[in-house]
Chain A
Amino acid sequence: MTGNKTGTKVRSEREHMKKALDLISVLLLAAGAVYYLGGSFSGLAALSSGAALYLFNIYYFQGKEKTLSAVKKYLSRLIVPLIGIAAAVVSGAVIMLLTGYDPIESYTALFYGGFVKNWYVAVLNATPLIFTGLSIAFAFKAGLFNIGAEGQYYIGAMAGAWLGFKLELPPLIAIILVYAAGSFLASLWNFIPALLKVKTGAHEVITTMMFAHIARYLSPIFIRAFGGDPATSTHPYVTWELPESSWLLSFKSFIPDANYRLHTGILIAVAAAFFVSYVLENTKTGFEIKAVGFNKEAARVQGISVGKNIFIAMMFAGALAGMAGITQVLGLDHKLFENLQAGYGWNGISVALLASNNPVGVIFTSLLWGALDAGGQYMARTTHTPNSIVEIIKGIMLFLIVAKYIYIYAARLIKKKKGGGSV
């Protein structure tokens, strides 16, 4: 009797200890991520020790087998993208050699500029991309192609600026309200495309793209109304500056040597990615959306409402893309520019595809894209290798990922044919 009791006691103590250690490792990972994204490389140490502790935990409490399988699980997810990246880098080097640029010098500048020197620029570039990437990835899960994320971005940006001007509230409340109302308005921008899709079957690629153009060209009208009056302003292409109460917190306020432009929007973006991942993996809605995306007919037979889920997916995708605009306005610019030439909506498609529509993967692909852009500018400035080489490398990376879809498609076709033959 007593032996049994102590046994459970020991077991529960072990449980407690495991939970405590897990918590510590998660905290380490979170703190490391915050510091690293804030431009402080000490965050990397915290990140790696957090990961080590996580693995050690598995090893200590569950044994060697489990550890190995955990490592294998993560590595196997990384292997395809890593091969793609490596192949793109090699092809880039070949192109540089053929066109008379020094690949070693150029790549040194590219990676040093993107991941070390101007890492903060990479993070700034990545922030809106994560949101638009999530928007597109989420819609993809429902079998939808939200190609108009660019438009929802502009709606979010306009809504963010408008509410920022109009709401005179204490900082935190103002920001929460701007995010809530702004993303709601951006999701409404997808209301008509969603309605048309469900009721008439009009393809969302066409409708959302048209709506993107409307939104983009609404922005000058908006700007004229909020400070960009050519008769009175020296800069009619940009609104007034937002009141400071609606600015996002900058990293500089708690990491003294962070770049003054770097804002905490990236943390919201990362949180959003984990939220989307949770919705998709652990909720009924997420399950239904995936079922609709996987096979509409099968979902219908199972009693899942296809129309309702398409509707939800489109609206949620709109809200996510809108948050990209809100974050850019509240965090980085503190005003709305007429034309950013940044194509966050279009680039969001790339990062979503590159991450195979995995929400957490979008964080990493966005950071990669951001770092390539930041490093590309640094490379062009210091080595005279033209920036376009970065676009070529990006294109090759994407191609290799799309090629993966081609393999899958081909495999499916072959299977189908074989299946058809046997009937």
Chain B
Amino acid sequence: MKKGIRLAVLIIAAAMMLSVASCKKEEKKAEEKKLLASMATDVGGLGDKSFNDGANQGLELVKEKLGADVKVVESKQQTDYVPNLIGLAEDGSDIVFAVGFLMEQAVKEAAKNNPDTKFAGIDIWAGDGDPSNFMGILYKEHESGYLAGVVAGMMTKEYASASPKFNDKNVVGVVLGMFIPPVEKFEVGFIQGVKSVNPDCKVLSVTTGSFVDQAKGKEAALAMIEQGADIVFQVAGLTGLGVIQACKEKGVAAIGVDVDQSAVAPDTVLTSAVKQIPRTVYLAVEAVKNNTFTGGTKVYGIEDDATGISPFHEFESVVPQAVKDKVAQVTADMKAGKIKIETTRAALGM
């Protein structure tokens, strides 16, 4: 009997100690609340191998280097944008990223209604009337497009013999998703890059009207290849994966966009016109952590190493040194401000 009582007392004491200990732990947790950075994708979702994935990589970087918690939610339809962004703010996020130009209206609305949370938008412009807790992150896509154009312009004619993928028709193509400013800047930059090294080259361009329709991307690319294009530059998000697929099937080269897309089809993707979304996402979260976050638009370009083209990977041996030298020279000239690149079709007289 006595033994039983003693045992019971012991158990109760142990339980009490445990609960006190766990209470302490919880208190500690509450004291040093971790930074929470989150993002809502646009309808393209994760796995677009483009800006949604790019921003996600940025959050991975944040998790690893800043030790912050991260949260990602995929939007299924346009009407999900506002509830998702507001929901992430309500979950206690310190900064919420909206990914993609199409979320402009939604993220500004969410920022206005949640003044205590910071918001940032990839590819979204922040103007005078916009809330001060919103940061727009833009890139000089025309610089990446221009460099990709230089490579394409040289490879399609001068060095076409370097690989059986290229023909003698001197035609290249661009497949666009929806015709929105970042897409336009890529395209216009690309055309200027091509023309700078190969003025006679014919540049085909098609707007598919969608960022999520791989079949349509494939169809558009096949039509271009039919017309003699041997390099197709895709600026079309998920739709663009269909473009790369078509190029792979027809044995021509593709140029990827936003992130290094070599992994999609290593024997097809010549290079990618990238923007360093992960790095800029990281910088924004770091600013929140250091209390240096400010609203307004941040434009990243080649001087920040945020634009440019990715390595050639499997094409390293195909692309001749002369092209690589030219790319290096153009990059240097851009950094020095020696090259003026137009950013709209209107300026090109298209």
Contact = CB atoms under 8 A, between A and B. Distances in A.
A238 B178 CA distance: 12
A377 B76 contact: yes
A318 interface: no
B178 A340 contact: no
A235 B43 contact: no
Contacts of A377: 73, 75-76, 80, 83-84, 87
Contacts of B248: none
Contacts of B346: 231
Nearest to A347: B77
Interface residues of B, number: 34
Contacts of A261: 82
Given A230-B184, A234-B181, A235-B104, A380 B73 contact: yes
B113 interface: yes
A238 B105 contact: yes
Nearest to A390: B76
Interface in B45-99: 71, 73-80, 82-84, 87-88, 91
Nearest to A332: B79
Nearest to B101: A235
A387 B41 CA distance: 13
Contacts of B79: 124-125, 332, 340, 342
Interface string B174-192: 0000111100100000000
B102 interface: yes
Nearest to A382: B91
B220 interface: no
Nearest to A328: B79
Contact of B180 (A236, A260, A341, A376): A236
A380 B178 contact: no
Interface string A187-223: 0000000000000000000000000000001001000
B74 A380 contact: yes
A381 B38 CA distance: 10
A339 B179 contact: no
Nearest to A373: B76
Contacts of A380: 73-74
A125 B87 CA distance: 16
Interface in B84-138: 84, 87-88, 91, 101-102, 104-105, 113, 125, 127
B78 A387 contact: no
B179 A236 contact: yes
A236 B344 CA distance: 13
A238 B209 CA distance: 13
B83 A118 contact: yes
Given A332-B79, A341-B43, A378 B210 contact: no
B232 interface: no
A337 B184 contact: no
Contacts of A238: 105
Interface in A333-355: 335, 337-343
A340 B83 contact: no
A381 B73 contact: yes
A235 B77 CA distance: 18
A337 B83 contact: no
A93 interface: no
B212 interface: yes
Contacts of B71: 381
A341 B212 contact: yes
B87 A381 contact: yes
Nearest to B80: A377
A341 B77 contact: yes
A217 B104 contact: no
Nearest to A343: B77
B78 A337 contact: yes
Contacts of A376: 76
Contacts of A237: 102, 178, 180
Closest 7 CB pairs of A and B: A342-B77, A381-B73, A341-B43, A340-B78, A121-B83, A341-B77, A231-B346
Interface of A: 118, 121, 124-125, 217, 220, 230-231, 234-238, 260-261, 332, 335, 337-343, 373-374, 376-378, 380-382, 387
15 contacts: A118-B83, A118-B87, A230-B179, A230-B184, A234-B104, A234-B181, A235-B104, A236-B179, A237-B180, A261-B82, A339-B209, A373-B76, A373-B77, A377-B80, A377-B83
Given A234-B125, A377-B76, 15 more contacts: A230-B344, A230-B345, A234-B127, A238-B105, A335-B105, A339-B78, A339-B209, A341-B76, A341-B77, A341-B78, A342-B77, A376-B76, A377-B73, A377-B80, A381-B88
